[in-house]
Amino acid sequence: MTVNVLMPALSPTMEQGKLAKWLKNEGDAVKAGDVIAEIETDKATMEVEAVDEGVLARILVPGGTENVAVNTPIAVIAEEGEEVADTADHAPVDRVGEEDKAQKQAEAAPPVPGQTAPQDEPGEANKAATKAAVEAATPAPKATSVAKEPSATVAPEVPEGTTMVSMTMREALRDAMAEEMRRDPNVFVMGEEVAEYQGAYKITQGLLQEFGARRVVDTPITEYGFAGVAVGAAFAGLRPILEFMTFNFSMQAIDHIVNSAAKTRYMSGGQINCPIVFRGPNGAAARVAAQHSQDYSAWYSQVPGLIVISPSNASDAKGLLKAAIRNDNPVVFLENEILYGKTSEVPALEDFVLPIGKARIARPGKDVTLVSFSIGMTYALQAAEQLAKEGIDAEVIDLRTLRPMDTATIIESVKKTGRCVAIEEGWPQCGISAEIAMRVQQEAFDYLDAPVLRVTGKDTPMPYAANLEKLALPSVADVITAAKAVLYRS
Amino acid sequence: MVEESGVASASASTIPPFSREQELTAFRDMLLIRRFEEKAGQLYGMGVIGGFCHLYIGQEAVVVGVKMAARDGDQFTTSYRDHGHMLASGMEPRRVMAELAGKRGGYSKGKGGSMHMFSREANFYGGHGIVGAPAPIGAGVAFANAYRGDGRVSLTFFGEGAANQGQVYEAFNMASLWKLPVVFIVENNRYAMGTEISRASAQIDLSKRGAAFGIPGKQIDGMDVRIVKATADEAIEWCRAGKGPYLIEAQTYRYRGHSMSDPAKYRSKEEVQKMREEHDPIEQVRARLIADGMSEDELKKIDANARKIVAEAADFATADKEPDPSELWTDVLA
Ligand SMILES: Cc1ncc(C[n+]2csc(CCOP(=O)(O)OP(=O)(O)O)c2C)c(N)n1
Ligand SMILES: [Mg+2]
């Protein structure tokens, strides 16, 4: 019997990889556990082991091939002495749960180009206006290569003619930390696997090599303890960037985030600041189930004394992480694992810092306002594109900062459209979208032509099964349905 | 005593021998776990299993040795590297595999997955995705045992990385204060993801970690199932006699990466190879059985049987249906 060796999936979010090289040749005998090939993903180089014994009868995908989809047959292992017919069935097996990933991939398409809102200062964000925000208003333009059309998604926060470079959110976050560490010797990074392992999700790649072990600190698995240690260091004048391997584990540390970091400035009558960034991936990844899929946007957004940021693309991630590191308050910076590998345009400026507390109009429109943030933006933008085909012109707002929330931008949009749908992956009760609905009804009640609707994650723990997980998460279809409902169209 | 390899050693004369029957039980149970995990790794690569999947390959002697010392009714609690513990608890391979595949025939109806699985019937209390969580939960199961006075012992497993979580020491203190019948088994496989123990722990003799709370501790070679069994016998007897908790540090090794996506660049191939060749828990038993006159053929039959059980489990898991969509909303509240 012949066995197909398939391109393996090596992480919950892997869709394809490079078959770097073969370590065995056709005709070689292999036994279970032998390393037969090496593959590369955007995160790491991995070994492919033989799972059975036999002979490596045929190599179907040569070494060096890029973009090999998960589950493509890459070789055939036959029993010793067995002939491998040319007609051997090399068809890939059906991948359970693949639809789920395909959907996520489709929905994670790059944002639709559009213009951003006028740059007037929103009321509430104003209150928290920081040095970073002021600095961000006048970034020093410094193009590093041939000028291209500026990406509309970030203009006009970026001077016209600025060179844009494509990078993943992973690279943007890493660059933001590296730049701030070069700029300020008090900035350091701490967390599980951030140094020698280069980050569990490779966000801190290269930082240990550049800054050394004094400033890139691996911790034991003791979230409560090291969050407290970092808060103490911040009280004493350092500026820690604390990585939670995922925000699920910040629950171990939440007492220090809320009781120590958020409240001390107030409790000390303004004497003691806590300039710290708590960052890491938040929310659902893919199939990692209830204890590893929680969205903490609403949890941390409830706390006075915290700033909460949750970007949807590489450019915002970079500009806002730099602002967060410079900010004198504790900042909870919520990233998303599925967005880490997504590429978008980032301005090639020497010092690109964005204002905290300022939403971005990702797509201008006049018929209905869709408000979201982080991965929710992928649903919102996809939906807007499909709605456009049906003659519905949706305006899409990316909150970017959840606390302080840029109410003014939302209200201004709703005054224009008269209809609003808020979208998030988190749970509905007391969610971000509940807060948006409340603010809209309070400040734009007379402009509303329909009740505000919301699209959220379902009110259950995250199930593991592929079909249930898909049902538990919001979808583009849910957003379209809600948008049509507020327009009384079907 | 700790050798250079990091595995505690005991001189041959002090190792309590196994009967032929015990050797066979250990061989069969460890091999079933190994074959099951190999298949799980394969199904992960094919996308039948998703999310995180942590294999127990290399560590089989720990749970099997403890199981051999346990009595019916004693409970097992562990973290996310849990497939071996489930099989040792007597849970059905096909239903464990179906859970790994997210199918309705799984122990949690497909809703929990690899890291979150439970069986009240088998006295298996999880399957926890949060590092450190098993320690107080296992102590709590022991609290219920003491409360009822039913003589059961809670067998609580966690990794050496988990041993740095604060809640572990809160649990140690309460367990000792209230004389709870719980055996804490630290599975020291030397790595917590990419962190070697000495990079994360100020005191690497983990058997001493209970000393401040008056908990007796023993550091043992967890690759030798006979030593694990003998130590677990002592520990369980201590607990059943009402003397309170007991701590075992079982020095072991995981052959595979932390999870499927771990490139394992933090250790050398030679280190892994040396462990496999010189300390493999299953090979040790096989060698003793052969030396005792058992034929290769008989052992091959046992292996073939394990493979058959596992293949059947994989077929079941692959063919089984996903949960009914209505299951999204069930089991949220009682
Ligand atoms: C509270 C918490 N922090 C971090 C993690 C991520 N994580 C999962 S396993 C692991 C390493 C645990 O190592 P160890 O306790 O030695 O167990 P092993 O994996 O070696 O069995 C980490 C850091 C987690 N699941 N829970
Ligand atoms: Mg470990």
Q: What is the mean pLDDT for each group of 10 consecutive residues in chain A (490 residues)?
A: 79 81 89 81 74 85 88 84 53 37 38 34 36 37 36 64 96 98 98 97 97 98 98 98 98 98 98 98 96 98 98 98 98 98 96 98 98 98 98 98 98 98 98 98 98 98 98 98 96
Nearest CA-CA partner of B214 in B165, B177, B160? B177
Q: For A81, left (φ over 0), alpha (ψ -120 to 50), or beta? A: left
Q: Are strands A420-423 and A368-372 parallel, antiparallel or unpaired?
A: parallel
CA distance A370 to A382: 11
How many domains is chain B built from?
1
Calculate how far, in angstroms, residue B192's C-alpha sits from the geometric centre of ligand 1: 6
Beta bridge partner(s), residue A421: A370, A453
pLDDT for A121: 35
Residues with CB under 6 A from ligand 1: A 192, 221, 223, 245, 249, 252; B 81, 129-132, 159-162, 189, 191-193, 258
Structure tokens at A17: 């990889």
HEC string for A116-155: CCCCCCCHHHHHCCCHHHHHHHCCCCCCCCCCCCCCCCCC
Report which residue type is found at B199. R
Does a structural domain hold residue B61? yes
- In this prediction, residue B22 carries a pLDDT of 98
Domains of chain A, each with CATH number or no CATH = 3-95 (2.40.50.100), 121-347 (3.40.50.970), 360-486 (3.40.50.920)
Q: Which two tokens stand for residue A285?
A: 């990844």
Q: Is residue B237 part of a domain?
A: yes
Q: What is the pLDDT of residue A72?
A: 86
Q: Do A70 and B195 touch (CB under 8 A)?
A: no
Residue B21 covered by a domain: yes
Helix residue ranges per DSSP H, A304-375: 314-326, 337-340
CA distances (Å), origin A24, targets A48, B83, B262? 11, 31, 22
Residue nearest to atom 8 of ligand 1 (CA): B131
Distance B1 CA to ligand 2 centre (A): 20
A256 is known as an active-site residue: no
Q: Which residues of chain B have pLDDT under 70?
A: 1-13
- A49 an active-site residue? no
Whether B50 is covered by a domain: the verdict is yes
Backbone angles phi, psi at A74, to 5 degrees: -110, -20
Tokens of B64: 């099997």
What pLDDT does residue A140 have? 39
Q: Please report the atom of ligand 1 found closest to the CA of residue B197.
A: 16
Whether B301 maps to a domain, the answer reads: yes
pLDDT at A43: 67
Q: Which residues contact B293 (CB under 8 A, 6 or more apart)?
A: none
The span from the CA of B211 to the CA of A115, in Å, is 65
Give the CA angle between residues A224, A228, A232 to the nearest 5°. Answer: 175
- CA of residue B118 relative to chain centroid, distance: 14
Distance A257 CA to ligand 2 centre (A): 27
A216 sits in which H/E element = strand A216-218
Distances (CA, A) of B332 to A462, B100, B329: 11, 21, 7
For B168-192, what is each residue's pLDDT tens digit? 999 999 999 999 999 999 999 999 9
**Residue B151 in tokens:** 């003589």
Residues A35, A23: contact at Cβ < 8 Å? yes
Residue reference for tokens 């018929």: A367
Q: What is the pTM of this model?
A: 0.86
CATH number at residue B161: 3.40.50.970
Round to whole Å and give the CA distance between A315 and A164: 10
In a domain, B102, yes or no: no
The burial of A389, by beta-carbon neighbours within 10 Å (0-12 exposed, 13-18 middle, 19 or more buried), is given as exposed
